[in-house]
Amino acid sequence: MKINDWLKSNTFHHSTFWDLKKLVEEKEQQGLKISLCIPTLNEEKTIGKEIVIFRSELMTRYPLIDELAVVDSGSKDRTLEVAASYGADTYFSGDILPSQGFKRGKGENLWKAIHQLNGDIIVYVDADITNIHSRFVYGLVAPLIYQPETKYVKAFYDRPLAFSQGIRPSGGGRVTEILTRPLFSLFFPELTALMQPLSGEYAVRREVLEQIAFPIGYGVEISHLIDVYTRWGLYAFAQTDLDKRVHRNQDTRDLGKMAFGILQAFLNRAEQLDMVDVKAETSQILRQFQSREQRFEQQEFKIVEEERPPMIEIPEYREKFHA
């Protein structure tokens, strides 16, 4: 079965890549440049520790990454100030490609980073990880360095949940298991091989990133996977086990908003691929309930999965990287 073969050849544990000296030598022999992007919004409590660890371990001790940047959506706290004080390059997303305007969202930060950063490989790591470790970078870039045919590497990890009898949980988060995995099982069975398709940590070759569109909101990860899969196939992917990731959990209502955006992005892709025919105009309003003094009130949230085009279509980008 193709999925089983892929799991054997393209699923790794970060400990496989423990020899960072060898990894750096291979990277330099290939002439690769690697950029690390941390997208942020109000992350002053955790951003400093991430930068200290990545700079000390992967820039000073082992020169694996050539560029460490924070791309921010407009934090109201001291995120950028803290990040700069620890030596990161810091950018407000709205200042990058000003001709394209500014849209608030994580996907916007990831998209703008393609233009701002110079690496042949870009690694994205979320800013809210409290057990941060250098494996969150080297575990993702190593398959790209050692396997030229690999284009996109996703992270997976344990959640800090109790389990018994030595049985290790291997699923994704709540939205993954309730929404994304059922959708993939129905429409893209091979993509179910990815343990945690919505993980915020991944490393990608520039030649891939510049050719795919970026939803600016919750749908960015699922759209990436469908676009890469339909263009390059399952073997373009690899995934690395990073053991455990500790971060703040979102409540169920916030996960509902995330799921609504992801479902919009999925339906957009499925319709483009002629896999579904959404004949009726779908609503962009998510409706949730709250109770107040024995009264039930309906709340409405407008969630629109706007998309940025492939970066290769932007004139400033073509001039900078393809002139």
Q: Per-domain residue ranges for the chain?
A: 2-322
pLDDT the model gives residue 159:
54
pLDDT the model gives residue 88:
98
pLDDT the model gives residue 86:
97
Report pLDDT digits (tens) over 220-242: 999 999 999 999 999 999 999 99
pLDDT the model gives residue 43:
96
Confirm if 193 and 108 have CB atoms less than 8 A apart: no
Which H, E and C letters describe 187-256, residue by residue?
A: HCHHHHHCCCCCCCCEEEEHHHHCCCCEECCCCHHHHHHHHHHHHHCHHHEEEEEEEECCCCCCCHHHHH
Residues of the chain with pLDDT under 70: 1, 159-172, 247-249, 279, 323
pTM of the model: 0.91
pLDDT the model gives residue 171:
54
pLDDT the model gives residue 221:
97
pLDDT the model gives residue 103:
94
pLDDT the model gives residue 173:
79
Exposed / middle / buried, residue 36 (Cβ in 10 Å: 0-12, 13-18, 19+): buried
For the domain made up of 2-322, the CATH class stated in words is: alpha beta
pLDDT the model gives residue 245:
87
